[in-house]
Structure 1
Amino acid sequence: MEVSNHFYIGYISKTRGLKGEVQLFFEFDDYKSLDLDILFLQIDGKLVPYFVRAVNVLPNRTAYLFFDDVDHIDQAQPLVRKRVYLPDSKLPQRGPDDFRLTDLKGYSVTDKNYGPLGEIVEIHQYPQQHVAAVMYKGNEVLFPLADEWILSTDRTNRTIDVNLPDGLIDIYL
């Protein structure tokens, strides 16, 4: 199977116990609404289906899983660090008003003082805050997505206007 018609949800982070249980770390925001009956692990560039026998989703972006036909740590160990996907048909539907900071990826950023900075290439999620990464004059510029620095967002044109603190951009140049 090809990755093209699947979406990435996370990776197998470690084994647990001796009976083949694995821990899945979610990098997908809406992980609690995912249907986890069958997962696709990327092995040697291809997606391999694994049927979930039991799952326990925890509030810390992880889940403990048992797969069919994996009943010993020796069978589970090769799955560690494998990327996990679901088919696009299982992508949870969101309402039109459900907008998240991670949706800003791809938006064009304009600073009040510096003018156009570029497109947000990545949103880093930290426990304290979300941080946007923009390529500006060949350098990666990072800035927190703090309410006091965001002047406006335009979802139609995919733009965001900011007023970053003096000197923040100079650090990266």
Structure 2
Amino acid sequence: MKKDDCFYLGKIVKKYSFKGELLAKLDTDEPDLYDNLDAIFIDLRGNLVPFFIESSQLHKSNLLRLKFEDVNSEADADALIKTELYLPLDLLPKLEGEKFYFHEVIGFKIKDKNFGDVGIIKAINDSTAQALFEIDRNGIEILIPMNDEFITKVDRENKVIEVNTPEGLIELYIE
């Protein structure tokens, strides 16, 4: 299994017990969707390795308490702390309407209500306080905040996101 075929679910943050149980912080708005998993992929030195889950349950709001098969001691558990968890893309719930996963809109066209065709989404920058569409317009990079008020329509069939940005925002990059 390759990372390109998976989505990031979260990270193991600490041990829960001396019997090898671990707590994982999930990167999701709906942690209860991942409460009854059979297996999960763990990134070990750049390789995704499947781990089978003996038991799991939600712990507090966004932590998942995990007990893996063959992880039975504190030493086994220590080796997994700070590792990242992944699941195959086909386990992602389908989103409706204007909601989307970042990876699914790469390659979509951006159309602005006032400006017209802006360009193609080449990446999503979520390292800033406000996530940004990184758009390629014939070699010019244009950044548009991924603000719910700006996004007016997500057309999955035609791979187009329609936006209504403040006047002059796009022109800042072109002139």
Quote the residue 2:100 is aligned against.
102
Distance 2:60 2:172 in 1: 37
1:135 maps to amino acid: I
Task: Give the distance between the partners of 1:146 and 1:32, measured in 2 at CA.
Answer: 25
- Listed one character per residue, the Cα deviations across residues 2-44 of structure 1 (whole Å, up to 9, x for unaligned) are 3269522423231134423322233466653344122221223
Q: 1:43-62 alignment to 2 at 5 Å?
A: 43-58=44-59, 60-62=61-63
TM-score normalised over the length of structure 2: 0.69
Which of the residues 143, 150, 164 maps onto 1:141? 143
CA contact under 8 A between 2:10 and 2:84: conserved in structure 1? Answer: yes
Aligned match of 1:23: 23
**1:140/1:172 contact within 8 Å kept:** yes
Q: How many Å separate the matches in 1 of 2:4 and 2:173?
A: 37
Identity %: 23
1:114 Cα deviation (Å)?
3.4
RMSD over aligned Cα, in angstroms? 3.6
Tell me, yes or no, if the aligned pair for 1:33 and 1:92 is still in contact at 8 Å.
no
| AA aligned opposite 2:141 | N
Name the SS for the 1:8 alignment partner: strand
Q: Which runs of 5+ in 2 are unaligned?
A: none
Contact 1:12 1:25 in 2 (8 A): yes
Contact 1:54 1:65 in 2 (8 A): yes
Partner of 1:111: 112
Normalised TM-score (structure 1): 0.69
Aligned to 1:91: 91
Give the count of matched residue pairs.
166
Between the aligned partners of 1:99 and 1:123, the Cα distance in structure 2 is 22
1:6–1:115: structure 2 CA closer, same or farther, 3 Å change rule?
A: closer
Q: Does 1:40 align with 2:41?
A: yes
Question: Who is 1:122 aligned against?
Answer: 124
- Relative to structure 1, is the Cα distance of residues 123 and 56 closer, same or farther in structure 2, using a 3 angstrom cutoff? farther
